[in-house]
Each structure stands twice: as structure tokens, then as C-alpha cells.
């Protein structure tokens, strides 16, 4: 759920603050995001909330967009993106958690968090449990239901396999193609004689 100060639909969203890395998150996660056909939009966190450390908003998946706060460092953004991509993997057409009951929501968070622990470790982006504790994410305990544990294993296998299979430059190539197609279709000049 977006906080009251977060982005509203069609509201101008802020650009990513430049960080110490040329990439804003793990390139394998970026390639997976492209494959899942989701865009990232960055939400500005007001200075007073950022300074307090009490806002707790990292991001969310809504429609075809993944909203992330615009002041995360490389590792935190990679882990937040991984979390939201796991929601996309679980229900790509739903777009948010508004249609789920409270018990379903908490069960899904346990599944997503358990998958992220393994995926983030495999990708080398950091200790997801430390990240989740620092950001006070809910439902950090392991799923107890055997079906949920199997789902975690299947998600981890599918996502890590997909990330390994995607070429590291896939996101750069697609972005370059997208920019080129926009340049070509903007306004054609007069025909050459």
C-alpha cells in the first residue's frame, strides 16, 4: 500500500538519485524485469520522513509498474526490486495485493521473503534478512506449509535459472532498441530527393 505521501497514478515521479554505481540495481534483475514487461518508477520520500527513518516505504508492484523509493543504494534497490519481482512472478496479472485477504497477504509475504533470501545471496547483492529487518518488513519467518515451501523452491529455481540465461547486456540492448525506435518514429524528416 502506498503511503499518503507516495505517488498517485499519473503523478510525476522523481528520477533516481545518482549513486556510487553506474547501475542502479543488479543487471540480472533488470533483465528479468524487462522479460516480465514491468517498468520502474521512482517515488520521492520527503526529507523529514527520510531523516526520521520511520517511513518504512520501499516499493510496491501495481499494474505494469514497480514503484521504488528514489534514494536507495545499489544493494537495497536490488533487494527491493527482487522482492517486488517475486510478487510479479506469483501473480503477473493481478498488479497489487488489494484483492487478497489478510492471511493470504501474510502468507505471500513469507513466500516472497523466503525466495528473496536465496536469490539475493545467489546474486551477491547482500544479506536479505538484514535488509528486511532494517526496513522492518513483515513476515520474515519461514513458510510452514509444505506447499508454500515447495513454491519457494520452484520460484528460486525458475528465477535464478532465468537470470543466468538472460545475457547481462539484455537490458542495455532492449533500452538501446527502444530509444532507437522512438527516434525513428518521432517525426520523419522530408524525403530526400
Query: What's the pLDDT tens digit per position in 102-112?
Result: 898 899 999 99
Cα separation values, 98 from 2, 86, 102, 132, 185, Å: 11, 16, 10, 22, 38
CA–CA gap between residue 58 and residue 72 (Å, rounded): 8
DSSP 69-98: ETT--HHHHHHHHHHHHHHHHH-TTT-SST
CA–CA gap between residue 161 and residue 179 (Å, rounded): 28
The DSSP 8-state label assigned to residue 191 in this structure reads: P
Report domain extents, the chain.
Answer: 27-169
CA–CA gap between residue 101 and residue 155 (Å, rounded): 22
**113 pLDDT higher than 60:** yes
- The mean pLDDT of the chain is 75
pLDDT given at position 63:
82
- pLDDT tens-digit map of 51-102: 655 556 678 888 888 888 888 888 999 999 999 999 999 888 776 667 788 8
CA–CA gap between residue 90 and residue 41 (Å, rounded): 20
How many Cα neighbours within 13 Å face the side chain of 105? Answer: 10
The DSSP 8-state label assigned to residue 6 in this structure reads: S
Q: How confident is the model at residue 135 (pLDDT cuts 50, 70, 90)?
A: confident
Which of 3-12, 35-44, 63-72, 137-146 has the weakest average pLDDT? 3-12
182 compared with 81, residue with greater pLDDT: 81
Contacts of 85 (CB under 8 A, 6+ apart): 29, 32, 33, 36, 38, 66, 159
At residue 10, φ and ψ (nearest 5 deg) are 65, 15
Amino acid at each position: 500500500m502506498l503511503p499518503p505521501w507516495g505517488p498517485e497514478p499519473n503523478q510525476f515521479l522523481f528520477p533516481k538519485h545518482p549513486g556510487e554505481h553506474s547501475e542502479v540495481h543488479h543487471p540480472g534483475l533488470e533483465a528479468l524485469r524487462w522479460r516480465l514487461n514491468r517498468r520502474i518508477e521512482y517515488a520521492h520520500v520527503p526529507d523529514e520522513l527520510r531523516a526520521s527513518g520511520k517511513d518504512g516505504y520501499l516499493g510496491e508492484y501495481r499494474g505494469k509498474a514497480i514503484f521504488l523509493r528514489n534514494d536507495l543504494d545499489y544493494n537495497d534497490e536490488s533487494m527491493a526490486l527482487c522482492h517486488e519481482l517475486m510478487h510479479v512472478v506469483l501473480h503477473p496479472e493481478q498488479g497489487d495485493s488489494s484483492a487478497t485477504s489478510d492471511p493470504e497477504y501474510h502468507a505471500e509475504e513469507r513466500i516472497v521473503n523466503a525466495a528473496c533470501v536465496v536469490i539475493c545471496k545467489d546474486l551477491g547483492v547482500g544479506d536479505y534478512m538484514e535488509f528486511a529487518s532494517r526496513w522492518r518488513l513483515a513476515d520474515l519467518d519461514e513458510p510452514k506449509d509444505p506447499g508454500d515451501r515447495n513454491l519457494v523452491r520452484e520460484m528460486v529455481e525458475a528465477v535464478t535459472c532465468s537470470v543466468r540465461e538472460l545475457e547481462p547486456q539484455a537490458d542495455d540492448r532492449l533500452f538501446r532498441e527502444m530509444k532507437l525506435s522512438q527516434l525513428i518514429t518521432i517525426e520523419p524528416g522530408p524525403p530526400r530527393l
